[in-house]
Structure 1
Amino acid sequence: MHTQILSKKMLVGGKWIAGEKTFEVRNPQDNALIARVPAASKEQMKEAIEAAERTYRSTKVWPVHERMTILNKVAQYMRDHAEDFAEIIAREGSKTINEARGEVKRAAQTIQISAEEARRINGETINFDQNEGSENRVGYFYRFPVGVVGAITPFNDPLNMVAHKIGPAIASGNAVVLKPASVTPLSAIKLAEAFMEAGLPEGFLSVVTGSGRELGDTLVTHPAVQMISFTGGSSAGEKITEKAGAKKVCMELGSNSPVIVLKDADLHDAVQSTVSGAFAAVGQNCLGVQRIYVERSIYPQFLTTFINRTTELRIGDKMDEWTDVGPLITEKEAKRVEEWVNEAVSKGAIVKAGGYREGAFYAPTVLTNVSEDAKIAKEEIFGPVVLIYPIDSLYEAVERSNDVNYGLQAGIFTNDINQAFYAIKNMNVGGIMINDSSDYRIDAMPFGGTKGSGVGREGIKYAIEAMTEAKVVSFRLQENLL
């Protein structure tokens, strides 16, 4: 079957433009050319930022009901074109068609929730008379948009992660300039089309495609950009923090997520959940299960059951509805995963399942006896590999879970509420899931981590708080009229 090669434009200041240069978007499964997309210049990024600033400053009033109407129209557009969105996600990225359909559903909900939260951007009254001498003052604070938000998104959720940046920004009245991942720009372009179709005023959204090395510094350092919202790797996040200066920054930087399974847990449920948590989206998930600590008395049974379930997963064509696991985003990434596994094996790790690569495909892999000084034990693998360890106590499991420079989310399987609350109190993470794996999330909840996992929280309501500022208003009343 011949696949049409698309020629796409990028959105700059509300105008669809082609670039003098282009880059190729390829299907990681077979390296087939999908599309040619503009490779923007620094000047075009600057143009998008300045258009966003002009639009924001010239819009005297942008009523909440208008923002809500646009967001609701976008959400409906996404639902009406759900299969088109899903096919784009599956072809340009790593997700299977079923996983892509799930992402479209979530992304539409993200935009819908953004519309709903727009009506709830409220302030509070302030009791100024709590301070002696301020008995004749009354007032409040309200929230107003920061202005221009610069957003940078990764490849692994090429639609929903973009929705998590654009939705709250528009809901709170900001203009937003988005730089999507170069390997998966088509989903972001498609979402931009939905916003323009819904009647978003020109200039409030730009989607600028191209190299992060070429465009990133301009977006991060431009004085008109008041906030940076970034999702990606920790090293890139650290560089952004250094360059952004006094700007507001919200960053989600990944994890090495632990799950604890205690002897009183429902073993079948724990296996099903952690297999899914480890290997969904080929393990390219910041919440993906990477380390599992299993109480020693049930460790042999858990390990055997986990291996059996893992070997049942079907590897193959992303567009086949029976496929469970597709390719990594590039063959280079698959080779990196292979190298990390080989390094762990050289230090004594045992491969219980998987452990082999074919092109960009890497088989779902189970490792035991992994040394604590192996790279895969400390860093984020971002691939279909899980480490399973026996532990003698919950205390040990918590201590070992915390012994990495990440703290995004964790999971624990137990029917003992006291054990659960010990983990809740002592695990250094941004979220802990009880009787769920670490990768459970709804888009409305606060989402973010501790340590090297990032700064701030996403989730629509919480992103809106980050994308707005509190302004205090105080009235001093005439005492003779009181």
Structure 2
Amino acid sequence: MAIEIAGGRMLLAGEWIEKSDQIDVYNPENNEIIGSVPAGKAEDAEYAITLAKEGKELAENLSVRERMDILNKAASYIQDNLEDFARTIALEGSKTINEARSETMRAAETIRISAEEARRLTGESINFDQMAGNKDRMGYYFRFPVGIIAAITPFNDPLNLIAHKIGPGIAAGNAVIIKPATETPLSALKMAEAFMNAGLPHKILSVITGRARDIGDILIESKDVNMISFTGGMQTGEKIANKAGLKRLSMELGSNSPAIVLKDADLHEAAESTTSGAFAAAGQNCLSVQRIYVEEDVYDTFKDLFLKEVKKVKVGNKLSESTDMGPLINEKEAERIEKWVNEAVASGASILSGGTRKGAYYEPTVLENVPDDATVVKEEIFGPVVLLFKVKNLDDAIQCSNDVNYGLQAGIFTANVNAALKASKKLHVGGVMINDSSDFRIDAMPFGGVKGSGIGREGVEYAIKEMSEERIVAFKILDE
């Protein structure tokens, strides 16, 4: 069943552009072609940048009210076409229809929050007379847009992650160029459709489809692009940082998220929460629970409860209302995960559940006795695999949790407020979720990590600040 998204066109500076060279978009569940998009080239990226130089002036000159109205209209368009958006997300990616509906609603909310935060992008007065000799000075600062933002997004949240680039970017008065993942470009084009219907002036927004090797470096290295906002893998992020030069960087680079379960925790709640946190979106989520550290006194009890919850996860057709987990984004990714699990087993790990692959599907998998140096321990697996570890106490759990080059979010389950506070101070991450898994986020909170998990913070208010600059205005009061 093909989906018609703007007739196989892409958006360049507000204009829908056709190209004869097309890239097919596949449903990873059955490898069926569901649509096609233009294979953008270097000249398309250069053209988008050229017009974005005019677009950034248009964007900066939009009043706050105009920005708010456009953002709110775009959000309403998404809500009014929720099923269309959700079906697009589900067909081109890994999410079930229910997960896709949730993402669509979140994307609309992200855009609405952006409208609200546009009115709050203010400055403040500065007391220049705090320094001796400056009694005759007064002033303030205000924020102004950075200019042109190039945003590169992954496949796993193909609509809401686009919303987290476009919404704050426009709220702050910038021009935005989006390069969506090659696997999931249709959702990005649907978002562009929402903004065109909302009356966003031409030249402010581009969504360039195509392969990263053809257009990525043009966007990254251009001196006319003032900021790169990237969500993706750590290795790619490092390459972008090396190529970008002197421009702003905001990067969310994934994680290897831990959850800690202490002996005083509600073990049933911990088992349910970590199961959801590990296997939502087939584990293809930067916040997915990958490692669970359980105090030895309750390890066996928790393991039994956890495995019972894992057995309930229904894998199947993405469009079925009863399906909990769909396929990986492609068979190659499923094969990689299979390889990592097999390597861990060969090194002494035990499979407690799952461990089998069928095409792009990989069963919800639980491992224990995994060696500390196994790839599945050290790297981000980005799939439906979770590891169980027995620890002596909280200190042991914290030390193990920190022993990777990632630090996005972590969860801890405990009834002890002192333990929760200690974990919140000692875990080397950007966010600690108390009595919740690492896989918790609202779109208004600051979101980002430390170490290999990235640079800067998303979350609408915080992204707007990343996408704007402070300018000081100082008056010297002259005697008449």
Place the TM-score, normalised by the shorter chain, in its bin: over 0.9
Change (3 A) 1:432 1:41: same
Are the equivalent residues in 2 in contact too, given 1:407–1:450 (CA < 8 A)? yes
Matched residue, 1:95 = 95
1:305 CA displacement: 1.1
1:151 is the counterpart of 2:151: yes
Name the amino acid aligned to 2:429. V
Give me the whole-angstrom Cα distance separating, in 1, the residues matched to 2:249 and 2:25: 29
1:55 is the counterpart of 2:67: no
Give me the whole-angstrom Cα distance separating, in 2, the residues matched to 1:79 and 1:58: 27
Name the amino acid aligned to 2:140. Y
1:195 CA displacement: 0.3
Give me the whole-angstrom Cα distance separating, in 1, the residues matched to 2:395 and 2:14: 55
Helix, strand or coil at the partner of 1:367: strand
Q: What pairs with 1:18-37 in structure 2 (closer than 5 Å)?
A: 18-37=18-37
1:474 is the counterpart of 2:474: yes
- Encode CA deviations 1:19-69: one digit per residue, 9 max, x unaligned: 231111000000000011100010011101111112223567210100000
Matched residue, 2:269 = 269
1:235 is the counterpart of 2:216: no
Helix, strand or coil at the partner of 2:61: coil
Give me the whole-angstrom Cα distance separating, in 2, the residues matched to 1:462 and 1:16: 31
Q: What pairs with 1:1-16 in structure 2 (closer than 5 Å)?
A: 3=2, 7-16=7-16
Matched residue, 1:127 = 127
Matched residue, 1:450 = 450
Change (3 A) 1:355 1:15: same
Matched residue, 2:77 = 77
Aligned residues: 479
Give me the whole-angstrom Cα distance separating, in 2, the residues matched to 1:75 and 1:350: 47
- Encode CA deviations 1:229-256: one digit per residue, 9 max, x unaligned: 0000000000000001110000000000
Are the equivalent residues in 2 in contact too, given 1:5–1:33 (CA < 8 A)? no
Helix, strand or coil at the partner of 1:396: helix
Q: What pairs with 1:216-235 in structure 2 (closer than 5 Å)?
A: 216-235=216-235
Helix, strand or coil at the partner of 1:383: coil
Q: What pairs with 1:240-319 in structure 2 (closer than 5 Å)?
A: 240-319=240-319
1:389 CA displacement: 0.5
Name the amino acid aligned to 1:251. M
In structure 1, runs of 5+ residues without a counterpart are: none
Matched residue, 1:416 = 416
Change (3 A) 1:50 1:4: closer
Give me the whole-angstrom Cα distance separating, in 2, the residues matched to 1:405 and 1:19: 42
Name the amino acid aligned to 2:388. I
TM-score by length of 2: 0.99
Matched residue, 2:329 = 329
Name the amino acid aligned to 1:36. S
1:339 is the counterpart of 2:339: yes
Helix, strand or coil at the partner of 1:254: coil
- Encode CA deviations 1:183-206: one digit per residue, 9 max, x unaligned: 000000001001000100001100
1:418 CA displacement: 0.6
Helix, strand or coil at the partner of 1:78: helix
Give me the whole-angstrom Cα distance separating, in 2, the residues matched to 1:183 and 1:204: 25
Matched residue, 1:111 = 111
- Encode CA deviations 1:302-346: one digit per residue, 9 max, x unaligned: 101111111121111000010011000000000000000001001
Give me the whole-angstrom Cα distance separating, in 2, the residues matched to 1:412 and 1:13: 46
Helix, strand or coil at the partner of 2:191: helix
Helix, strand or coil at the partner of 1:404: coil
In structure 2, runs of 5+ residues without a counterpart are: none
Name the amino acid aligned to 1:374. A
Matched residue, 1:435 = 435
Give me the whole-angstrom Cα distance separating, in 2, the residues matched to 1:85 and 1:59: 26
Are the equivalent residues in 1 in contact too, given 2:59–2:173 (CA < 8 A)? no
Name the amino acid aligned to 1:246. L
Give me the whole-angstrom Cα distance separating, in 2, the residues matched to 1:100 and 1:367: 28
Helix, strand or coil at the partner of 2:301: helix
1:210 is the counterpart of 2:210: yes
- Encode CA deviations 1:434-459: one digit per residue, 9 max, x unaligned: 00000110000000000000000000
Name the amino acid aligned to 2:236. A
1:471 CA displacement: 0.3
1:258 CA displacement: 0.3
Change (3 A) 1:165 1:3: closer
Helix, strand or coil at the partner of 1:324: coil
Name the amino acid aligned to 1:53. K
- Encode CA deviations 1:58-107: one digit per residue, 9 max, x unaligned: 56721010000000000111110000000000000000000000000100
- Encode CA deviations 1:407-430: one digit per residue, 9 max, x unaligned: 000000000001111101100000
- Encode CA deviations 1:204-242: one digit per residue, 9 max, x unaligned: 100000001111100001111100000000000000000
Matched residue, 2:404 = 404
Are the equivalent residues in 1 in contact too, given 2:59–2:204 (CA < 8 A)? no
Give me the whole-angstrom Cα distance separating, in 2, the residues matched to 1:92 and 1:58: 33
